[in-house]
Chain A
Amino acid sequence: MSGARDEILSRIRRAEWATADSEGRRRAEVEQRLAARAQTAPIPGIARLEGAARVERFVEQLQAVQGAVTRLPDLAALPEALSNELRQRNLPQAIRKGADPDFAGLDWGALETSDGPGRIEEPATLTRAFSAAAETGTLMLTSGPDNPVTLTFLGETHFVVLRASEIEAGLEGAWARLRAAGLDPRTVNLVTGPSRTADIEQTLELGAHGPVALHLFLIEDA
């Protein structure tokens, strides 16, 4: 409906501030802001932490929103840690995961693994986070064959792998990392804890539609 488009745009251009200013100057301001991605707002102190303090903040914040964290010395320790965790949670020794290169070379032992998108019943899924923001304990996941988006939402328990060196202080750092990697995924998912609702009498319940539990394996490489 191009008629509607033109009508709407011309109505906007009739506003006082638009007629009082030259379109050329307004256009230049917009180009400049988009190109510079100007940081016009203050970045809070909690989003500026460095080194170990940053990692500690991230872990604390994730735990504060009912996320669980297991620290591992390296990626090779993942299969055994995952197997133990499944046992402790009374889940079958099976995992649905994405085709992330980090997972490809691992020895999964007796653990039954399969790659692909989420199905209607998924007791446990495993995905690979792209980055994280320490300020709020937020994981950043990017969709793709290595990381099907439905695994993040359909797993009853959602396991995630992240390297400590991938944790950024704030959201801005995570966006910069995404741009630098040249990724253009269909979805960027910021995940801060397991699914929840308070829609029934303001009572907080975990696992509304998404995972009941979120468990992070943090690879200590930083």
Chain B
Amino acid sequence: MTLQPTSKEFKANVSAALADPNLRQAMGQAGGGLAAKRAVAVAALPEFEALRDAARDVKNHTLTHLDLYLEKYEAQVEASGGQVHWAQTADEASKIVLDIVARAAEARGADDGKAIVNKGKSMISEEIGLNQALEAAGHTVVETDLGEYIIQLRGEHPSHIIAPAVHVTKAQVEEDFRAAHTQFAPDRRFPDAASLVREARAVLREKYFQADVGITGANMLIAETGQSVIVTNEGNGDLTQSLGCIHVVIASLEKIVPTLEDASTILRVLGRSATGQAMSVYTTFSRGPRRDEDPDGPEEYHVVLLDNGRTSMLGGEFQDMLRCIRCGACMNHCPVYQTVGGHAYGWVYPGPMGAVLTPNFIGVEEGGHLPNASTFCGRCESVCPMRIPLPKMMRHWREREFEQRLSPAPTRYGLDFWAFFAIRPTLYHWAARWAVWKMKLFARGEGSLGWLPFAGAWTKHRDFPTPEGRTFQQLWAQRQREREQDMRGVG
């Protein structure tokens, strides 16, 4: 019951996104903010590049010993009184959580078998479609991260992995709160964002105390200690896991790191890459259920370890993607993401990391468009704290898409047409010279062209610059001649 992908309709999604004034406004306000904050934080830490190398090496070491670290981790969780549940698929993971939740409802003595489930922010929960599964079983699900709460009210999905409601304007949030929070005076005013935050705080504070189960994700799992780690700014994840009777952690298995020292290295690049914070406000390491003498904390602690196709990425050309720590830097720096927003990508993970991950989860037939949603400018790789070669992996997908003849017909014919010339250099030169001359003629002395044959969709939103009059090969040949003359002059 996972999210129905619309990645196949990427082009239509983009057209809709470009025509949506609210999205334009929201993205315009957010655009570049996180990227600028990252730049400041990175500049303040001289060792940042060396830490990126070290963080990459921690993950590479862990991935090539993943089976053994998972065994160590499991033994530690069990030693602390917690339980580890292994899930191969999204449905298996949902089923495990549903069983735990049903037991919690029974333990409370709920006549109808329905439980109240609070949630901290978790992308794995989106990946496995957990909210839909819980709601279908009649349970009440409360998202407690403010951004997640807003999109839950709107019946939407996150459009960014760390700023899920980045596509929503303040005016839209105000409308949603008025519709949902009917317990307050309808004529109350929301002069600023602070007034909205205060209202959500008051509403959710009560919910924390009503929950049977608290579900969180995990930014890391630590093999040495059996701890799960959440990194947040709001404190909702901590209230969720501390006030529910049962704490369920849902995490994918590549989240594991060997030691607390390794976790510290990753923390030093995570916050800076994500929001420009040297440390996020709350980084919490949880081990097992509450101790006998503890006055608070959950009575049970469960970890659901999800594979969902990740182990099939090991040892192959997509293994590097398993280093991803979900900071969002790639999408904060992606010109495509910043223009179309996250929903256009049509599934759970947007931006460059989503373009690489999505075809893995939903297949290249469904998600094969996404690796094409790139200008190959390389900014994503240049800011990735784990040095994941995102453009290279998008190219791998493009190759697979082409091999499987999934690319659209015009693309294939166009490439065949181009290849016909490209393997015949003399013909290519003559054709290029003719095209450049013709374009210059069409432009009639103007600097740009408003229309080109076969490129109407492209020129609809932009002009094509008129060529200077000579082809690249001509200019290159001239430069080479000049260089040779210079060399002779020096000699």
Q: Of A27, A154, A172, A201, which contacts B264 at CB under 8 A? A: A172
- Interchain nearest-CB distance for B276 vs A (Å): 11
- Interchain nearest-CB distance for B224 vs A (Å): 5
A15 to B65, CA, bound (A): 11
Q: Please count the residue pairs between chain A and chain B whose beta carbons lie under 8 angstroms apart in the complex.
A: 268
**Do residues A202 and B234 form an inter-chain contact, with CB atoms below 8 A?**
no
**Do residues A193 and B281 form an inter-chain contact, with CB atoms below 8 A?**
yes
Q: Of B80, B85, B235, B262, which contacts A195 at CB under 8 A? A: B235
The size of the chain A interface, using a CB distance under 8 A, is: 79
**Do residues A191 and B282 form an inter-chain contact, with CB atoms below 8 A?**
yes
**A-B contact sample (6 more), CB < 8 A, given A187-B297, A197-B146:** A8-B88, A40-B262, A116-B295, A195-B234, A195-B235, A207-B197
Q: Which residues of B contact A7 (CB under 8 A)?
A: 88
Q: Which residues of A contact B197 (CB under 8 A)?
A: 197, 200, 205, 207-208
**Do residues B285 and A1 form an inter-chain contact, with CB atoms below 8 A?**
no
- Interchain nearest-CB distance for A184 vs B (Å): 7
Q: Which residues of B contact A195 (CB under 8 A)?
A: 233-235, 281-282
Binary interface profile of A, 185-222, with partner B (CB < 8 Å = 1, else 0)?
11111111111111111110101111100000000000
- Interchain nearest-CB distance for B215 vs A (Å): 16
**Do residues A175 and B163 form an inter-chain contact, with CB atoms below 8 A?**
no
A8 to B80, CA, bound (A): 23
CB-based nearest A residue for B239:
A153
**Interface flag for B291 (CB, 8 Å):** yes
Binary interface profile of B, 155-174, with partner A (CB < 8 Å = 1, else 0)?
00000000111100110010
CB-based nearest A residue for B231:
A190
**Do residues B163 and A198 form an inter-chain contact, with CB atoms below 8 A?**
yes
**Interface flag for B474 (CB, 8 Å):** no
Given A17-B64, A154-B239, decide whether A149 and B51 contact each other with a Cβ distance below 8 A.
no
Q: Which residues of B contact A8 (CB under 8 A)?
A: 70, 86, 88, 253, 305, 307, 311
**Interface flag for B201 (CB, 8 Å):** yes
Q: Which residues of A contact B280 (CB under 8 A)?
A: 192
**Interface flag for B33 (CB, 8 Å):** yes
Which segment of A28-36, A81-89, A123-131 sits at the interface? A28-36
Binary interface profile of B, 236-251, with partner A (CB < 8 Å = 1, else 0)?
1011001100000000
**Do residues B51 and A44 form an inter-chain contact, with CB atoms below 8 A?**
yes
Question: Which residues of chain B from 186 to 225 have any CB-CB distance to chain A below 8 Å in the complex?
Answer: 192-194, 196-198, 200-201, 204-206, 209, 223-224
**Do residues B295 and A12 form an inter-chain contact, with CB atoms below 8 A?**
no
Q: Which residues of B contact A65 (CB under 8 A)?
A: 277, 281
Binary interface profile of B, 96-120, with partner A (CB < 8 Å = 1, else 0)?
1000000000000000000000000
**Interface flag for A79 (CB, 8 Å):** no
**Do residues B85 and A1 form an inter-chain contact, with CB atoms below 8 A?**
yes
**Do residues B314 and A15 form an inter-chain contact, with CB atoms below 8 A?**
yes
A170 to B380, CA, bound (A): 29
29 CB contacts below 8 A, A to B, read A1-B92, A2-B86, A12-B66, A12-B314, A15-B315, A33-B259, A41-B51, A41-B264, A42-B51, A44-B45, A65-B277, A118-B296, A135-B278, A136-B279, A143-B296, A149-B296, A153-B238, A153-B239, A186-B289, A189-B284, A192-B277, A192-B281, A193-B281, A194-B281, A195-B282, A196-B233, A197-B233, A209-B146, A209-B239
Binary interface profile of B, 293-306, with partner A (CB < 8 Å = 1, else 0)?
11111000000010
